Amino acid sequence: MHQSRLYLPRLESQPSTLLEYMLRRFPHVTSDQWLDRFERGIVTLADGAALTANTPYRPGMMVYYEREVIDEPDVLEVETVLFQNSEILVADKPHGMPVTPAGDYVRRSLLHRLRESTRNKELTPAHRLDRDTAGLVLFSLRAATRGLYHGLFLDGVVERRYLAVAALPPTEHRSWRLENRIAAGEPWFTQRISEGEVNAATQIELVESREEKGLFELTPKTGKKHQLRVHMASIGAPIEGDVLYNPSRPPQQGQPLQLLAYRLTFIDPVDGARREFVTQRSLSAW
Q: Which candidate, 177, 250, 171, places its Cα nearest to that of 214?
A: 171
Considering only CA atoms, give the Rg of the chain. 22
Q: Is the pLDDT of residue 101 over 80?
A: no
* Same fold across 80-157+267-278 and 161-260: yes
4 forms bridges with which residues in the sheet?
A: 65
**Quick one: pLDDT at residue 48?**
78
Whether a cis peptide bond, with omega within 30° of 0, leads into 73 is no
- The pLDDT assigned to 172 comes to 87
d(CA 221, CA 199): 10
Q: What is the CATH number of domain 2-67?
A: 3.10.290.10
Residue 159 burial (CB count, 10 A): 13
The predicted pLDDT at position 7 comes to: 92
CB atoms within 10 A of CB 57: 16
pLDDT at 40: 78
12 pLDDT tier (thresholds 50, 70, 90): confident
Mean pLDDT of 40-67: 87
List the chain domain ranges.
2-67, 80-157+267-278, 161-260
The model's confidence at residue 269, banded by pLDDT at 50, 70 and 90, is very high
What mean pLDDT do residues 99-123 have? 82
Q: What are the residues facing 178 on neighbouring strands?
A: 202
pLDDT confidence of residue 197: 96
CATH topology of domain 80-157+267-278: Pseudouridine synthase (3.30.2350)
Place 204 in a pLDDT band, splitting at 50, 70 and 90.
very high
Q: Cis link prior to 187 (omega < 30° from 0)?
A: yes
Q: Do the beta carbons of residue 239 and residue 218 sit within 8 Å?
A: no
Q: What is the pLDDT of residue 73?
A: 66
Question: Between 3.40.50.300, 3.30.465.10, 3.30.420.40, 3.30.2350.10, what CATH number should domain 161-260 receive?
Answer: 3.30.2350.10
pLDDT tens-place string over residues 161-194: 999 999 999 888 999 999 999 999 988 889 999 9
* Predicted pLDDT at 71: 59
Confidence of residue 255 (pLDDT cuts 50, 70, 90): confident
Q: 3-state secondary structure string, 39-82?
A: HCCCEECCCCCECCCCCECCCCCEEEEEECCCCCCCCCCCCEEE
